[in-house]
């Protein structure tokens, strides 16, 4: 049983999936930022401001099952649902070491609305999370360096680079917070945790504060050239610090 008011759209999804998979549907969960999932009832009456992410665990699936689901996808989207993640139970367990960041996020923040909580018994190895975080951090650093060269020194291009990189940086910050066994309410809280972490490592406050500043740009449409030129040096310095941090991370 769940102690939340399940959005109408999720109940419709549950009905549809049970119609497709029958007894092979083992559980359905909402995960991530639930939007209107906690206490709202109107998600089924139009597209929600933030799509609700769901995970369906099934015993097995066929191409015909996927065809049936594909015919309903437009209605699900119109109701405010993201495309559901449909995974077989055995496949999920075997994927923990392949998608440690994505699955650890789901395991840490999900609400079961149908069936048993099969996710409760799953654990992602912290070593797999650390390795994935290092790949994420090093890739971001390389992207920033390459992108800076491609700006050819133009401040307007630098603004675009920072804005386009902000979502990936926010994802990195959230991953690092989870690596430290934190469960931040949102990416802003994750950024504050990372700033405390870097502060304890001796990073000065002026440089450190750029973490939250860049995260706030995730939904920004523009960034003044002067602000871009001010931000970039401490931004890339922070990413370098994060690479070093995750490279030397050990479970405490």
Q: Which of 9-18, 25-34, 144-153 has the lowest mean pLDDT?
A: 25-34
pTM (predicted TM-score): 0.74
DSSP E strands: which ranges in 105-229? 110-115
CATH annotation of 126-247: 1.20.120
Which tokens go with 252? Answer: 């405490």
Per domain, the residue ranges of the chain are: 8-121, 126-247
CATH annotation of 8-121: 3.30.460
Which tokens go with 84? Answer: 């559901």
| φ, ψ dihedrals at 25, nearest 5° | -75, 115
Residue 146 near residue 93, CB atoms below 8 Å: no
- What integer pLDDT is reported at residue 44 of this predicted model? 36
pLDDT tens column, 154-203:
999 999 999 999 999 999 999 998 888 887 778 999 999 999 988 888 88
- What integer pLDDT is reported at residue 45 of this predicted model? 35
Residue 123: CB atoms within 10 Å:
9
Distance, in Å, from the CA atom of 133 to the CA atom of 99, rounded to the nearest integer, reads 11
Residue 1: CB atoms within 10 Å:
4
Q: Which residue has the higher pLDDT, 24 or 93?
A: 24
Per the DSSP assignment, residues forming a β-bridge with 18 are none
Distant-in-sequence, close-in-space partners of 67: CB < 8 Å, separation ≥ 6: none
pLDDT tens column, 52-110:
999 999 999 999 999 999 999 999 999 999 999 999 988 988 999 899 988 988 988 89
């Amino acid at each position: 049983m769940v102690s939340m008011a399940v959005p109408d759209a999720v109940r419709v999804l549950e009905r549809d999936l049970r119609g497709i998979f029958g007894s092979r549907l083992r559980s359905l969960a909402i995960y991530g930022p639930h939007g209107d999932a906690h206490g709202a009832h109107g998600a089924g009456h139009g597209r929600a401001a933030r799509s609700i992410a769901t995970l369906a665990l099934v015993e097995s699936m066929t191409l015909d099952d996927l065809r049936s689901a594909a015919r309903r996808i437009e209605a699900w989207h119109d109701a405010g649902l993201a495309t559901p993640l449909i995974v077989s139970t055995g496949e999920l367990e075997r994927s923990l070491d392949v998608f440690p960041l994505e699955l650890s996020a789901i395991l840490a923040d999900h609400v079961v609305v149908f069936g048993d909580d099969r996710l409760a018994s799953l654990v992602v190895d912290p070593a797999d999370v650390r390795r994935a975080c290092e790949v994420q951090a090093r890739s971001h650093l390389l992207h920033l360096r390459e992108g800076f060269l491609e700006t050819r020194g133009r401040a307007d291009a630098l603004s675009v680079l920072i804005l386009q990189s902000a979502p990936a940086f926010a994802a990195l910050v959230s991953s690092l917070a989870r690596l430290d066994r934190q469960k931040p309410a949102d990416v802003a809280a994750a950024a504050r945790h990372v700033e405390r972490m870097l502060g304890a490592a001796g990073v000065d406050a002026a440089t450190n504060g750029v973490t939250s500043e860049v995260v706030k740009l995730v939904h920004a449409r523009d960034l003044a050239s002067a602000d871009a030129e001010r931000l970039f040096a401490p931004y890339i310095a922070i990413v370098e610090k994060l690479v070093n941090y995750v490279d030397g991370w050990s479970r405490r």
